[in-house]
Amino acid sequence: MVNIRQSDIAKELNVSRVTVSKALRNHPDISSEMKKKVIAASRKLGYIPNLIATQLNSRKTNTIGIVIPDLENSFFSYIADSMIDYATENDYRVILTVSREKESVEKRNIENLIGMRVDGLLVCNSQETTDTEIYSQIKKMKIPLVFFDRVAVGSGFSSVVFDDRNGAINSLEKVFASGLRRIAHFAGYSGVNIGKDRREGYLEALRKQRIPVKKEWIIEGGYELNDGRNSLLKLLALNDLPEVIFAVNDRVALGAYKSAKEAGLSIPEDIGIFGYGFSEITDFFDPQLTVINQDPRKMGQLAAKVLIDEIAGVHGSNPVKITIEEEFLWKESVKKQK
């Protein structure tokens, strides 16, 4: 690799490196003629400043580190994309790491990013993560950090999350208002936050309507397509179909679509389906999936904004907690009764 340095420009012009350094940064010390000369020479030689060196003595890298569980999940890739967007607009670079839902990888990534002296961190915990020691250390080091979507609780950092519980309650109220009353829930494991909050929302919504809970209609499973398939088969075996299925996420909903069609059930006539998701995916379902919209771009943007503000010292030392409301997008997959 052949890199041009400021000293090369200085030699070319027979001036000192300092003059060059100042000229390039448009320092008032330097005459405008000199500046022109320096800029011309740097163009000519193809000078690209060494940010590593700059960063070393400014102790600022203008770089944000992201730790995300899985880029193959479009929800997360949209989030990452919007974070990169927002960061770039605000003159920050982004180092993106993927934890693959592994706690150990998450930890390694974070140490790596701190080693790179990023100015701040955007972190979504892996599903496995339970040990929060590293986060206490980050707190001690006073490195700005914002959690998004999944939060290591009690660590005292800012966070941006969805209001899943109310999202479920509000959405189900709309469903009830349309005359539908028999709703099953394809739930995630209740150990995980996501699964827990969404299920609680479901239960609370039923309670409000004084609709008795049918335990057999809460079918617990994972978060992938096959889990949705299996849950639908379990539901069929009951010989007691609900009017609508409320799925814990879009992949589970898709699995339910598949099994439903294989079983000869048409959506939404024989059975309706809706679930957590985001607007961009509705089109990938036929009929279009009704979703409780978790706007990933909004989350990414907000988290990045909170972090960058925090780096700038906007919030002082008070962590900011942002809860994003979810909107119910009624599409083809659920048929209103009235």
Partner DNA sequence: ATGAAAGCGCTAACAC
Partner DNA sequence: GTGTTAGCGCTTTCAT
Give contact residues for a copy of itself (rule: CB under 8 A). Answer: 1-3, 46, 48-53, 55-56, 59, 61, 63, 70-72, 74, 77-78, 80-81, 84-85, 88, 93-98, 100, 105, 111-112, 114-117, 137, 140-143, 225, 254, 257-258, 261, 280, 283-284, 286
Euclidean distance between CA atoms 337 and 55, whole angstroms: 62
Residue 16 interface partner, choices a copy of itself, DNA, none, CB cut-off 5-8 Å depending on type: DNA
Dihedral over alpha carbons 130, 133, 138, 141 (to 10 degrees): 170
Shortest Å distance, C-beta 126 to DNA: 28
* 56 touching DNA, by CB under 7 A: yes
- Answer for which of 30, 94, 271, 324 binds DNA (CB under 7 A) is 30
Shortest Å distance, C-beta 71 to a copy of itself: 4
Which are the contacts of 86, defined by CB distance < 8 A and separation ≥ 6? 300, 301, 304, 305, 308
Show the site string, 7-26: x = touches DNA by CB under 7 A, - = not: x-------xxxxx-xx-xx-
CB 189 within 8 Å of CB 227: no
Judged by beta carbon, residue 52 or residue 237, the one nearer a copy of itself is 52
Examine residue 319 and say whether the peptide bond preceding it is cis (omega within 30 degrees of 0).
Answer: no
Euclidean distance between CA atoms 217 and 303, whole angstroms: 36
Judged by beta carbon, residue 136 or residue 323, the one nearer a copy of itself is 136
Q: Which alpha helices (H) appear in 116-224, and where do they start and end?
A: 133-141, 164-177, 193-208
Judged by beta carbon, residue 163 or residue 280, the one nearer a copy of itself is 280
Angle at CA 72, nearest 5°, toward 162 and 186? Answer: 50
Shortest Å distance, C-beta 20 to DNA: 8
Judged by beta carbon, residue 33 or residue 133, the one nearer a copy of itself is 133
Euclidean distance between CA atoms 129 and 323, whole angstroms: 21
Each as own residue / partner, the long-range contacts of residues 32-39 (CB below 8 Å, 24 or more positions apart, any chain) are 37/13, 38/9, 38/13
Interface contacts to DNA, rule CB under 7 A? 3, 5-7, 15-19, 21-22, 24-25, 29-31, 33-34, 49-50, 53-54, 56-59
